[in-house]
Amino acid sequence: MEGIEKVYRFLEEAQSYFLATEEGDQPRVRVFGTALLYDGKLYIQTGKVKNVSKQIAVNPKVEICACLGSKWLRVSGELVNDDDRQVKVAMLEKMPVLKAMYSPDDGNMQMLYFKNATATFSSFTEPPEEIRF
């Protein structure tokens, strides 16, 4: 399995993760659940009207953290906005529940993919495993 796919599967299994951004000198963190592997890239989804989106626009460096039993995953990297319609459609097809809030042409739905990402899988019993994508 390719490294990025392993990261994606972990997020899928965990179902939710925490996304940290920066606002001035204040860290901000919130729970997220969207993840999509598309065109070899790991995407997350949000709304452009949200504070989280505005923070990413100012500083695209973020970290996410998810845990599964006694294993945890941290991904740090930069998020890149992608306004490609097809990736929005793919996200809505994967998670139809989002259709109640978003559509590809609403000017709000936002897809962001990781670049320069470092993912670290950790546990209490095994040495950390690092994956870059």
Ligand X SMILES: Cc1cc2nc3c(=O)[nH]c(=O)nc-3n(C[C@H](O)[C@H](O)[C@H](O)COP(=O)(O)O)c2cc1C
On whether the CB atoms of residues 43 and 112 are closer than 8 A, the answer is yes
With left for phi above 0 and alpha for psi between -120 and 50, is residue 31 left, alpha or beta? beta
Q: Which residues have CB under 8 Å from 25's CB, separation 6+?
A: none
Query: How far apart are CB 113 and ligand X at their closest, in Å?
Result: 14
Nearest residue to 44 (alpha-carbon basis) of 72, 23, 20: 20
| Residue 99 binds ligand X (CB under 6 A) | no
Query: How far apart are CB 19 and ligand X at their closest, in Å?
Result: 8
Residues 1-40 that bind ligand X (CB under 6 A): 16, 28, 30-34
Query: How far apart are CB 114 and ligand X at their closest, in Å?
Result: 14
Q: Which is nearer to ligand X, 22 or 78 (CB)?
A: 22
Binding mask 39-78 for ligand X (x = CB under 6 A): ------xxx--xxx--------------------------
On whether the CB atoms of residues 66 and 72 are closer than 8 A, the answer is yes
Contact residues for ligand X (CB under 6 A)? 16, 28, 30-34, 45-47, 50-52
